[in-house]
Each structure stands twice: as structure tokens, then as C-alpha cells.
């Protein structure tokens, strides 16, 4: 079984919070408290919450592209 990375766990935490709260009102502290990580861990992975969103979006697009048979390096 593949273990989740810190980036994946932080992203899941952000997504959980975003279900009930506006993105611009979510703080880094809320993200880290929600998943039990420190803010230092967050900043080792991401510059800010918008960097997290961009990483998540890019990862999702790459997954979709691979599912439909397009190599992620060519798009």
C-alpha cells in the first residue's frame, strides 16, 4: 500500500475545509491543525495556500490526461 505524502495529506485537509468555508478565509493554521501537521511542515511543501491549490490542480489534470492516454510530458 502506498503511503500518502505530506503534500497529499495537506491538500486533503484543505479540500475538507473548503467544503464548508470560502477559500480566501482558510488559514494555513487551519489546514495544518485539521490534519495534525505543523505550519513548518506546510511551508516545507508549499509557499502558500495558492501554491497548494496550483499543485493539486496540476496533479489532477495530469491524472485526467493519463487516463485518456495523453502523456503528461507532451501537453
Q: Residue 47's pLDDT is what?
A: 98
Q: Residue 2's pLDDT is what?
A: 86
Q: Tell me: the pLDDT tens digits for 3-44?
A: 999 999 999 999 999 999 999 999 999 999 999 999 999 999
64's CB contacts (< 8 A; 6+ apart) are: none
More confident residue, 52 or 71: 52
More confident residue, 10 or 2: 10
Which of the four pLDDT bands, split at 50, 70 and 90, describes residue 75? low
- DSSP, residue by residue, 25-71: G--HHHHHHHHT--HHHHHHH-SSHHHHHHHHHHHHHHHHHHHTT--
Domains, the chain, in order of start with CATH, read 6-67 (1.10.10)
Amino acid at each position: 500500500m502506498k503511503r500518502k505524502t505530506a503534500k497529499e495529506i495537506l491538500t486533503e485537509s484543505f479540500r475538507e475545509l473548503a467544503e464548508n468555508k470560502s477559500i480566501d478565509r482558510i488559514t494555513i493554521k487551519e489546514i495544518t491543525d485539521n490534519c495534525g501537521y505543523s505550519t513548518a511542515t506546510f511551508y516545507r511543501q508549499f509557499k502558500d495556500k495558492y501554491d497548494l491549490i496550483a499543485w493539486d490542480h496540476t496533479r489532477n489534470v495530469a491524472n485526467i490526461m493519463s487516463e485518456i492516454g495523453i502523456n503528461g510530458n507532451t501537453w
